[in-house]
Amino acid sequence: MPLDLSRRSLFTGAAGLTVSGLAGAGLAGCSQTAPSGTTDAAFPPGAIDPHLLGPAEGVALLSRNENPYGPSQSALDMIEYAASKGAYYANQEAAVSLMSMIAEKNGVDPEQVVLTTGSGEVLSAIAVLYGPRGPIVAPRLFWDTTALYAANLGMAEIQRVPLTDEMEIDLAAIEAAVTPDTGLVQLCNPNNPTGLVSDPATFQAAVRRMAATTTVLVDEAYIELSDDPEANSCVPLISEGHDVIVTRTFSKIYGMAGIRLGYAIASAETAAAIRPVVMSWSPCTSYAAGIGCYNDDAFIDFSKSKVTEARDMVFATLDTLGLDYLPSQTNFVYFKSGLEANAVQAAMAERLISVRGQYMDYNEWTRVSMGKVEDVERFCRALPELIEA
């Protein structure tokens, strides 16, 4: 099928979605409320209150799974250039150029790639598209923001399947829950907040079988951080003809969470069905940044080495304290402190260290992100004070 390059086909918005629906799309850790106490006088031309962008001075931001070493210089150079062209809507050629780069690296056609403002947007679009077809079957614990978005709109019901005793995705139980009435299976690999990667052979065999009955969405936001991204990815299953959608993001290893760029890979037909449900047009700065850094292997390797350095430090601290943790292959670690997760969060906040609070009823588990190595060091020094108090 030829690639339809019309702006309409690439960027059509969804007419029926409401303003409250948009506000409900809240993305991890972001707030759409206006900053309080700021006046024009606080922002002389050319200046900005540094507290409004990135962590405030002295704060170790270890709660949102960002990569503080980004964006790469290759992305920054392109952002600066693109910003100078910010009077204009992004040219579709920029989108097609990036789609082609992604397609080439993944052995698919450009028309199989859907670009969005962060992967959250395409995940929301998928939830809205497939939710009305039947329940979204998912592990009990996964990054559920976008499935909840469709649920909040009354467009989806989430059917949660308990994790195994090892807190892995219970693939057998998920498979058993899938019926012809299932709207979508949504899996996150590596999973968030557990950080666990499923065994590739077992995972891919289960995805192939389930995709014979329903569409399987695999959220690979953290795949580049895993030990063997190529072996772990489900993109080859799409080329084999299975009904599988894979989503990825520039927010994690590429260090561009605030720039907003993500994508889905699917069959050309599925990609064409998703595009009209996507709600916005990405900024020219995000396309340009993506083009700049997508193949910047030196930056990717550097980022991965920083994550590994920080993660080893966290593992060592947890070992010393005798605490249970999951063997993460991501830029965050989920560990059992034995203390109330929200109390750990509050005690860390007193020390200007930001970690995640409680997930569901996992009240003794805390997720800490691998931020700057020196910030993770601070966390590692603070944790024994809490545990041994």
Ligand X SMILES: Cc1ncc(COP(=O)(O)O)c(C=O)c1O
User: Binding residues for ligand X, per CB under 6 A?
Assistant: 27-28, 65, 118-120, 143, 188, 192, 219, 221, 249, 251, 257, 262
> CA distances (Å), 109 to each of 163, 232, 312, in order?
35, 21, 38
Structure tokens at 231: 């072996």
Based on CB atoms, which residue is closest to ligand X, 299 or 332?
A: 332
Whose Cβ is closer to ligand X: residue 116's or residue 317's?
Answer: 116
Identify which of 249, 252, 229 has the alpha carbon closest to the alpha carbon of residue 370.
Answer: 252
Q: 3-class DSSP state for residue 86?
A: coil
CB of 100 to ligand X, least distance (A): 21
Sign of CA dihedral 73, 188, 185, 215: positive
Residue nearer to ligand X on the CB measure, 117 or 215: 117
User: Which of residues 347 and 362 has its CB atom nearest to ligand X in the complex?
Assistant: 362
Instruction: Tell me which long-range contacts 128-131 makes (C-beta under 8 A, separation of at least 24).
Output: 128/14, 128/17, 128/153, 128/155, 128/156, 128/277, 129/273, 129/274, 129/277, 130/156, 130/183, 130/184, 130/215, 130/217, 131/155, 131/156, 131/157, 131/183, 131/184
- Provide DSSP, 209-224: HHHTTS-EEEE-TTGG
Strand partners, 333: 368
| Smallest separation (angstroms) from ligand X to the CB of 85 | 24
Give the phi and the psi of residue 47 in degrees, each rounded to 5: -125, 155
Q: How many CB atoms lie within 10 A of CB 134?
A: 18
CB of 213 to ligand X, least distance (A): 24
Residue placing its CB nearer to ligand X in the complex, 141 or 271: 141
The Cα–Cα gap between 238 and 287 comes to 24
d(CA 161, CA 163): 7
Least separation in angstroms between residue 322's CB and ligand X is: 29
CB of 249 to ligand X, least distance (A): 3
CB of 167: closest distance to ligand X in angstroms? 16
Measured from the CB atom, the residue of 192 and 282 that comes closer to ligand X is 192
Nearer to ligand X, 249 or 282 (CB): 249
* Consecutive H or E run containing 188: strand 184-188
* Smallest separation (angstroms) from ligand X to the CB of 39: 30
b/e for 218-244, b at 16 or more Cβ within 10 A?
A: bbbbbbbbbeebeebbbbbbbeeebbb
User: Would you say 204 or 286 has its CB closer to ligand X?
Assistant: 286
Provide, rounded to whole angstroms, the least separation between the CB of residue 226 and ligand X: 12
